[in-house]
Amino acid sequence: MQEWIARAVRFFREVRAELGKVNWPSRKEVIGSTAVVLISVFILSFFLGLVDVVLQRIMSAILR
């Protein structure tokens, strides 16, 4: 049991050391990336909605 605890403590120390090495993005980079993602999602959602409406109308016309 002692060995398991010692390994867990060592693991978390190593995790903390690795997190210290991470090159975290700046606030400006995070905001910019978030904006790109949100705009991309909006454009893709609009496009897929438009395709859905067009296909729905085509299928309605065929099935009449």
Asked whether the beta carbons of 50 and 58 are under 8 A apart, the reply is: no
Distance CA 36, CA 40 (A): 6
Give residue-wise pLDDT tens across range 22-49. 999 999 999 999 999 999 999 999 999 9
Asked whether the beta carbons of 40 and 48 are under 8 A apart, the reply is: no
DSSP state of 24: P
Distance CA 12, CA 18 (A): 10
What is the Cβ-side half-sphere exposure of residue 21, based on CA atoms within 13 angstroms?
A: 6
Q: Is the pTM of this model over 0.85?
A: no
Give residue-wise pLDDT tens across range 5-25. 999 999 999 999 999 999 999
